[in-house]
Each structure stands twice: as structure tokens, then as C-alpha cells.
Amino acid sequence: SRVLRGRFMVSTNIGQPMLDLSRTASGGELSRIMLALKIHQRSLSGGTMVFDEIDSGIGGETAFQLSKRLKEISEHAQTIVVTHLHQVAARADNHYLVTKAVTGNTTLAGIMMLDERQRVMEIARMMGGSNPSPKVIEHARELLAGA
């Protein structure tokens, strides 16, 4: 029997040469490449997609565009996204807050589904820190209303 081998080549930035994916792409880049493949495939007929910090290292308009693509995927498959970006979190149908607490040598994790008020405050916290101003809270409301 004959073994065929292939390489997946990618250029992660304009003007850079095509390089072997296994040697050049970071974890975040690999996640975004997977997202692009899934969008292109358009054969999502159910199942669950999990993206763990797919937005690592991006922000602004790029994060906004990523959030739109993730929302498209969620229309065809259950989609779970771990994010630290308000642009991505604001598009969720359901928003869960994951917390961690260290007690002694043990780390405990918790998860809680947020109601509408809690969600506004969490989006505001993601944008403006632990004590968001009234303007940041209003912006969070606007962001959620437009998502």
C-alpha cells in the first residue's frame, strides 16, 4: 500500500510567503483557520462546535467581523465560544459567566447563565473594567440591542 502525505500551506499575513501550517500558525491562528474552513464548508447540519479563545490577539473591527461569522455558524450548529471580547460575547444567544477561585492549593471553577441585567453588566465590565461608568453601561446596552 502507498502512503500519501500532504502539507497545508498558509500565509497568515499579506505579503508573507506560504509556509507549512504546522510550523507557523499560533493557536489563535489555527482556531481562526478552522473557523474559515467551517464557514466555507457550509455543511454544518447540527452537532456542536467549540471555539476556545478563537479571538485571542485580535480586537476592534476584526473582532466585530469574527463575531458575525461565529453568529452565522450558530445558526446551523450549537456553538460554544470562550471569549474575553465584548464584541463576541454580545452576539451570544445565551451568555454564561465562568469564574475561578483559588482556595489553598485548589482552583474551583463555577459557571452561571446570565439574565439580561447581569449580561449588560458583564458586557460593560468586559469593556470598561470592574467598575464601569454609566456611559459604558449604556454602550453595553446599545451593543446588546444591536447584536
Rounded mean pLDDT of 137-146? 95
Tens digit of pLDDT for each residue in 45-60?
667 778 888 888 888 9
Tens digit of pLDDT for each residue in 71-114?
988 888 888 999 999 999 999 999 999 999 999 999 999 999 99
Percent of the chain's residues with pLDDT above 90: 46
Whether residue 123 is predicted with pLDDT greater than 90 in this model: the reply is yes
Separation of alpha carbons 79 and 15, rounded Å: 33
User: What residue spans define the domains of the chain?
Assistant: 9-93
Separation of alpha carbons 12 and 33, rounded Å: 9
What is the pTM (predicted TM-score) of this model?
Answer: 0.70
Whether residue 10 is predicted with pLDDT greater than 70 in this model: the reply is yes
Mention every residue, 6+ apart, whose C-beta is less than 8 A from residue 13: none
Q: What Å distances lie between residue 125 and 5, 118, 119, 136, CA to CA?
A: 48, 10, 10, 8
Separation of alpha carbons 139 and 145, rounded Å: 10
Mention every residue, 6+ apart, whose C-beta is less than 8 A from residue 145: none
With the CA atoms of 21, 26, 30 and 32 taken in that order, what torsion angle do they form, in degrees rounded to the nearest 10? -130
